[in-house]
Amino acid sequence: MIFGDTAHVLAGHQGGEAEYDALFDAAMAAAQVGIFIHQDGRFKYANAHLLQLIGYSADELIDRMGPLDLLAPGEQALFLQHLAEETAGISSHQYELSVRHKDGESIPVSLLGRSTRFNGRAASVASVLNISAQREAERQARELADFDALTGLPNRRLLADRMVQLLAVAEREQGAAALIFLDLDHFKRINDSLGHSLGDELLCAVAQRLSTVVRRVDTLARLGGDEFVFALPSTHSGAAAEIARRLVEVCNEPFFVGGHELTVTASLGISLYPQDGKDAETLLKNADTAMYKAKEQGRNAFQFYASAMNTAMLERLLIESDLRRALRLNEFTLDYQPLVSLQSGLIVGVEALVRWRHPELGIIMPDSFIQVAEETGMINRLGDWVLGEACRQAQAWCDAGLPQMIVAVNVAPVQFRQAGFVEAVAGALAASGLEAGLLELEVTERTVMHDAEIHLGTLSSLNRMGVELSLDDFGTGYSSLAYLKRFPVGKLKIDRSFIRDLENDPDDRAIASTIISMGRNLRLTVLAEGVENAQQLALLRDMGCDMAQGYYFSRPLPAGEMTVLLRQQPFLNKE
């Protein structure tokens, strides 16, 4: 009999001893948990499952080793505590510890023991359950809760936990800390053009490269999308600036992803503890604000937070909110500025300029809201309205018997790049009845030179439709003459920055003269913006400039006042 007088205690079995031994052996062999009996600190029995779990044979274990031999020193006290409770008759419960496999591997187990008797003396019997799979599942659950699934970086939740610890240390030691908010510039274009799968690969490559810049004590987290945050303990402004500079540099180096060589830039905002905030939420918000300031100033740079930014951000949010209402309630209007032929003085066209009739603030000029409209995507809806209204008014002038003339409409870069822009232009012409040749679309040279090959197709489609095209702000961008020759544009508009000091600055005169000469040689009409006095006008005429607009002739006027000006033609042969 295996356990002597313990047999009936363990099972309450009343049959013969041989029958019981066979039944017990079969039960122990089928058990899916480890079972052992120990007495006087030594194993007296261990089933096959336990022997397999710990890698020992019965001969190596029984009467030679005890449970404490399989435990790390730090866990022996827990085992002895539960053993004492069992001996004292205290109800037992499961507890967890780790046992050492024969090869040294640590195995997490759940153990449940109870007192018994073996060969007439006190002993203990216990079951052992391997919980390695459970621990692994818990680890994976923690990773899902605390780490970004794509990049493996800490996520927002883990960042918040670490920020609490970081700021507690900084407060206790009266030290410093910094937070850097990094956002990739124009990342959406990569997703849109190359697909989200390649975009995800790029994000992983970016995360890996960014991690090479920070220290082991720093936390690099991904908030989502293309947003990353760096929590930097014991970091003053100078060190934060140096880290930000290095981050900008490493992002500028090409990435080779999916067979493509990609270059991305980043905009970064920095907030400092304690001057920019004493809690994680405030520091993160202020770093985010500073990052947007870096984008406004040209991207591919970093910006420290300043309290004035919150005022600017609040104003921007108010503009955004009011802008949505303005689109819904149609609070916009168009003013028109004459485009004058320098040869005859005839008004040969007008430029349509949008104005916002704010119910509380009065007339708001586009410089105050166009950028917000572009950043929020509202520019497409606003641009479509401007296009439709300008065409409608131009046709109304034709219907009123005024001579046919060009109406020029500015096209924002976001609007020009939107899918269906050519169709939107065709719709505006059809709805108004205006001839395509009387509509001129003004696009900046920066707009068309970005992805020039793609935009060449859009320009060609508009040209085939009969729409006139002009390059606005010419001379301030980076035009390639090879592309300029291929673009189906009919007009160049000299930027007002070269006209402002035309009468005093020889460099401005040289630039304006060069543009006019180049335009003439390319058989393009050249128009000068921002003409404000007779001396500027005389110089432009001497250079052979074709057209001009500016306050010297007229400020932008509402449609009714523009109608009067068109009938009067007050600039004919004006010197």
Residue 73 — pLDDT band, cuts 50, 70, 90? confident
Q: List the alpha helices (DSSP H) in 222-338.
A: 237-252, 280-296, 308-329
Domain ranges of the chain: 4-135, 147-306, 333-353+379-568
Residue 272 — pLDDT band, cuts 50, 70, 90? very high
Report the pLDDT value the prediction gives residue 13, as an integer from 0 to 100: 42
**pTM of this structure:** 0.55
Long-range CB pairs of 209-217 (<8 Å, 24+ gap) are: 209/250, 209/251, 209/253, 209/255, 210/182, 210/247, 210/250, 210/251, 211/153, 212/250, 213/243, 213/246, 213/247, 213/250, 214/243
149-158 tens-digit pLDDT: 899 999 999 9
CATH (one of 3.40.50.970, 3.30.450.20, 3.40.50.300, 1.10.260.40) for 4-135: 3.30.450.20
Helix (H) or strand (E) holding 481: helix 481-486
The correct answer on CATH 3.60.10.10 for the domain covering 147-306 is no
Query: CB 506: neighbour CB atoms within 10 A?
Result: 9
473-524 tens-digit pLDDT: 776 655 556 667 777 888 999 988 899 999 999 999 999 999 999 888 888 9
Q: Distance between CA 383 and CA 294 in Å, rounded?
A: 26
Q: Distance between CA 350 and CA 536 in Å, rounded?
A: 20
Q: Is the pLDDT of residue 7 over 50?
A: no
Picking from 451, 425, 443, 450, the residue whose alpha carbon sits closest to that of residue 488 is: 443
Structural contact between residues 410 and 444, judged by C-beta atoms closer than 8 angstroms: no
Residue 43 — pLDDT band, cuts 50, 70, 90? very high
Residues in the chain, how many? Answer: 575
Average pLDDT, the chain: 87
Who contacts 148 (Cβ-Cβ below 8 Å, separation ≥6)?
A: 154, 155, 221, 222, 224
414-426 tens-digit pLDDT: 888 888 899 999 9
400-413 tens-digit pLDDT: 999 999 999 999 88
Task: Report the SS3 class of residue 67.
Answer: helix
Report the pLDDT averaged over residues 208-212: 94
Q: List the alpha helices (DSSP H) in 297-435.
A: 308-329, 370-376, 379-399, 413-417, 421-432
Three-state secondary structure of 362-388? EEECHHHCHHHHHHHCCHHHHHHHHHH
Instruction: Indicate the fold that domain 333-353+379-568 takes in CATH.
Output: TIM Barrel (3.20.20)
